[in-house]
Amino acid sequence: MTVSAKPPSGTRDFLPADVARREHVVSMIRRAYERHGFVPLETPTMERIEVLLGKYGDEGDQLIFRVLKRGEKLEVTAESTPDDLADLALRYDLTVPLARVVAAHSGSLPRYFRRYQIQPVWRADRPQKGRYREFYQCDVDFVGSTSIVAEHTVITAVTDALAALGFGGFTIRLNDRRVLTGIMDVAGVAEAERGGILTAIDKLDKIGIDGVRAEFVERGLNETQIAALEPVLAAISASEHPEASSTLLDQFGALLSPSAAGSAGIATMRELFALLSAAPVAAGRVAFDPSLARGLSYYTGPIFEIAVDGLSGSMGGGGRYDGLVGMFAGKSIPAVGFSLGLERLLVVMEERGMYPDVRRGSDVVVTRLDAASTEACLGIARGLREAGVRCEVFPDLDKLGKQFKYAEEIGARWVVLAGERELRDATAVVRDLLTGEQTTHPLSQLAEYVRSVVGGR
Amino acid sequence: MTVSAKPPSGTRDFLPADVARREHVVSMIRRAYERHGFVPLETPTMERIEVLLGKYGDEGDQLIFRVLKRGEKLEVTAESTPDDLADLALRYDLTVPLARVVAAHSGSLPRYFRRYQIQPVWRADRPQKGRYREFYQCDVDFVGSTSIVAEHTVITAVTDALAALGFGGFTIRLNDRRVLTGIMDVAGVAEAERGGILTAIDKLDKIGIDGVRAEFVERGLNETQIAALEPVLAAISASEHPEASSTLLDQFGALLSPSAAGSAGIATMRELFALLSAAPVAAGRVAFDPSLARGLSYYTGPIFEIAVDGLSGSMGGGGRYDGLVGMFAGKSIPAVGFSLGLERLLVVMEERGMYPDVRRGSDVVVTRLDAASTEACLGIARGLREAGVRCEVFPDLDKLGKQFKYAEEIGARWVVLAGERELRDATAVVRDLLTGEQTTHPLSQLAEYVRSVVGGR
């Protein structure tokens, strides 16, 4: 055997117990998204490479899995670049495909396209603990409205999903891209410098306040400018003290009053903060955090993250990006989105024992005692399935002990025994492997009895 | 706009109505498979290229989508072949990944691994009507037993799935690879010629009896040999006349008595035919068809196809392949599998109007009459969702007529209206857009009323 049987680096096989857990989580998220009126979209695994290139920055372009051209289309020379050799690429996120779909199907989409999409994406990142090359995103996007109802809807869809999964304690951190713009306005940071400064602020939780200050100096800000940015750094703890949000909103409202963008951002924050706080589940759990920056390349308005109590980092985030969805349609289309990362949710739920019983597989194994009973055993299984019971017939003629052992191995709690004597009497024995209890039933009442103890599916 | 918004050739975007239909079908198939004790497996989209190459024949190798090596691993010269440039490839079927998983996870799998897998596969075929480059397979495989219970289980799992989807009339065509071997034995066809002869027989339904006879001559068979193969050609109509199966089994039993393989095949066919015919759903619908050949490269025992009444071709097929699953484990592991093609099922169900109401999306749109009512409207929606009703709040302040029009556009039958007067009275109006009927309800009883007319989700 020369070929390794392992899956490719950074990818995983999901055995049945894994699939059951993943499907439980996905199904709860879907149902929450659907309660909020979102509808499912699925796009192809591959996109034409020109659809993806240039959308994720240079670093992103490097991480795209490219698919080789085929047949005569593939011309190889010593100078061929990866982009010469590839015409397709694997989906890198779910937002660019959404933008493409909005352009391709504009005639078939309703005025507001409220779609969710739960599919894998692929990034050729260095694999490490908890970070994979194939992983799922659970995105919800509200396309077509500038109303704050859109922000409110995607955020509550996500908090509803988390609550349904059993996460009682979470915090919604809010900021607005225009608040950050306002701060730059007030501090007099030149347009060209703003991206770098925002990147520095984004690292606040990794490198700390002193680290960010040092970056400000490195990037050539003077003392007055750094002093003007201090309130942002001071606000780092805002998300841990949601009760401070009202004060912070007032403070930043005053601070940013000279900036039109900043004032608009604060007004939106006040409104969103109030609307979100009105829901009992979110009361006391919404925090205005002016230090929240996120990857700011395409956000244009409110941005948000959800953190779960007791965990560092966020379970997901999003924001308003009014410039992106229209890129293939050639016009501006407003949109707000939120992306939950499935893998992190699964790890945390596993660690905290948050899974209900999601076992699949037979509840009942019909044992086989001799070749003559095969047809009868298959008939018994058919009757159980018609009653909605998950069951299987043991395939080989093996000692009864081995058949019981197999039933235990797959987690089936019950076995049915129908030997020569039982079949002559038109009966079968049901044995509960957990309690050892055995009962005998007429074949005509067997399915009903088993269904009553096992439950139908 | 220079970049096309179309999905790549041979792939499709699935809009919400498409996804709902696909998920309905997949969910019925899964439940049928699970009633038969099968458990779900998922494998990565990409496999290491050496895992796939050489498993599907030369033609298959050409159709594999190869993924370009990344970074320093990619060395391009004018002589580079596609296999030099790629280290990964997209999944081509679900059987080779199963074989890899059985080798990689042998310690964690039960004695019998009864897995189903419903995932897309990719083939760089020429796209044409009904044939795609990205399409789903719904496979069910029973790994680890040579018992005929395995064949019976995969076949009934599939017939159960078809019945659940509403296909009342289908025919199960059965043959055994050893019956075909026996026929070659009796006809004295040399080992080296057998593959070609089987390929010719496999074309029976495409090129007709005379076409197959012509191929026999071309391939150098003499008159005696062709005469010995005639009963197979004569059996072409067997699947249309299941009642002829018993006669055919007797006829071929006598014919193949000189061949050990042929006799073993007939004995198995008799047993499987009897066991399958015992189920009421299959009675009169099982046919022994000695002309059924299928892609014979890896089948070792029974082979089968399911045809739906009124449709040419099959909805799916499978068989026993005792040599394949062990290929990465380096030992022989018996297995029987059945693969249903999802796309064909969907087309037929669409044509025949077999879909129940699978609509997603809001049942209720909460209209908004003025900015002051936003918080109240969001609160009404929250209450409806808590009662399990799918609903959304209209985001923009638009004329009521436009809000109604949008509700109709997304298929929401009900709208809720809460204007200044209603909110002052702590009431809301529910309007049925289908009947035009309007009723007023106290806010405290609104969710209960809406749930009673809409139904919970």
Cα dist. B199→A115, B196, B216, B314 in Å? Answer: 47, 5, 10, 17
Average the pLDDT over A141-149 and give the result. 97
Q: Which of A 303-342 lie inside 8 A of B, CB atoms?
A: 328-330
Give me the pLDDT at residue A296, please: 61
* Banded pLDDT at B75 (limits 50, 70, 90): very high
- Give yes or no for residue B430 having a pLDDT over 50: yes
Phi-psi region of A216 (alpha: psi -120 to 50; beta: other; left: phi over 0): alpha
Q: Are A283 and A277 in contact (CB under 8 A)?
A: yes
Instruction: Give residue-wise pLDDT tens across range B399-417.
Output: 999 999 999 999 999 999 9
Give me the pLDDT at residue A182, please: 94
Q: Within a 10 A sphere around the Cβ of A416, how many other Cβ atoms?
A: 23
Q: What is the ipTM, given to two decimal places?
A: 0.94
Nearest chain A residue to B387, by CA: A35
Q: Are A102 and A325 in contact (CB under 8 A)?
A: yes
Beta bridge partners, B115, equal B39, B141
* Banded pLDDT at A312 (limits 50, 70, 90): confident
Q: Within a 10 A sphere around the Cβ of A154, how many other Cβ atoms?
A: 27
Give me the pLDDT at residue A390, please: 97
Among B71, B362, B382, beta carbon nearest to A37:
B362
What does the mean pLDDT of chain B come to? Answer: 92
Contacts with B274 from chain A: Cβ below 8 Å: 375
Give me the pLDDT at residue A456, please: 59
Give me the pLDDT at residue A239, please: 67
Give me the pLDDT at residue B296, please: 61
Give me the pLDDT at residue B455, please: 80
Q: A149 and B46: CB-CB below 8 Å?
A: no
Q: Within a 10 A sphere around the Cβ of B105, how many other Cβ atoms?
A: 14
Percent with pLDDT over 90 in chain B:
75
Give me the pLDDT at residue A1, please: 47
> What count of CB pairs under 8 Å joins A to B?
314
Give me the pLDDT at residue A285, please: 86
Which tokens belong to B47? 């496999």
Which tokens belong to B164? 């659940």
Q: What is the pTM of this model?
A: 0.94
- Identify the three-state secondary structure at position B391: strand
Contacts with B147 from chain A: Cβ below 8 Å: 395-397
Give me the pLDDT at residue B128, please: 84
Give me the pLDDT at residue A281, please: 72
Cα dist. B65→A63, A88, A376, B122 in Å? Answer: 18, 10, 47, 7
Amino acid at site B277: S
Q: A120-150: string of b/e by CB count within 10 Å (b at 16+)? A: bbbbbeeeeeeebbbbbbbbbbbbbbebbbb
Q: Is B107 on the interface with A (CB under 8 A)?
A: no
Give me the pLDDT at residue B62, please: 93
Among B12, B41, B147, beta carbon nearest to A15:
B41
Give me the pLDDT at residue B1, please: 47
Q: Name, in order, each residue with C-beta under 8 angstroms of A262's C-beta and a sequence gap of 6 or more.
A: A178, A179, A181, A182, A183, A185, A186, A252, A255, A256
In angstroms, the separation between the Cα of residue A171 and the nearest Cα of chain B is 19
Q: Within a 10 A sphere around the Cβ of B104, how many other Cβ atoms?
A: 18
Give me the pLDDT at residue A111, please: 96
Who wins on pLDDT, B170 or B270? B270
Instruction: Give residue-wise pLDDT tens across range A418-432.
Output: 999 999 999 999 999
- Give yes or no for residue A358 having a pLDDT over 50: yes
Beta bridge partners, A90, equal A46
Q: How far apart are CA B444 and CA B195, in angstroms?
A: 75
Instruction: Give residue-wise pLDDT tens across range A114-129.
Output: 999 999 999 999 888 8
Nearest chain B residue to A116, by CA: B16
Amino acid at site B113: F
What does the mean pLDDT of chain A come to? Answer: 92
- Give yes or no for residue B213 having a pLDDT over 60: yes
Q: Name, in order, each residue with C-beta under 8 angstroms of A208's C-beta and a sequence gap of 6 or more.
A: none
Range from B110-119, B199-208, B431-440 carrying the lowest mean pLDDT: B199-208
Percent with pLDDT over 70 in chain B:
98
Average the pLDDT over A217-230 and give the result. 90
Return the half-sphere exposure (C-beta side, CA atoms, 13 A cut-off) of residue A34.
20
- Give yes or no for residue B167 having a pLDDT over 80: yes
**Containing H/E element for B228?**
helix B223-234
Q: What angle do CA B440, B441, B447 make, to 5 degrees?
A: 130
- Identify the three-state secondary structure at position B339: strand
Q: What is the dihedral of CA B407, B413, B418, B419, to 10 degrees?
A: 50
Average the pLDDT over B208-224 and give the result. 91
Q: Which of B 1-60 lie inside 8 A of A, CB atoms?
A: 1, 3-8, 11-16, 18-20, 22-23, 31, 34-37, 39-48, 50-51
Instruction: Give residue-wise pLDDT tens across range A49-65.
Output: 999 998 888 889 999 99
Instruction: Give residue-wise pLDDT tens across range B322-373.
Output: 988 888 988 999 999 999 999 999 999 999 999 998 888 999 999 999 999 9
Among B15, B329, B378, beta carbon nearest to A152:
B378
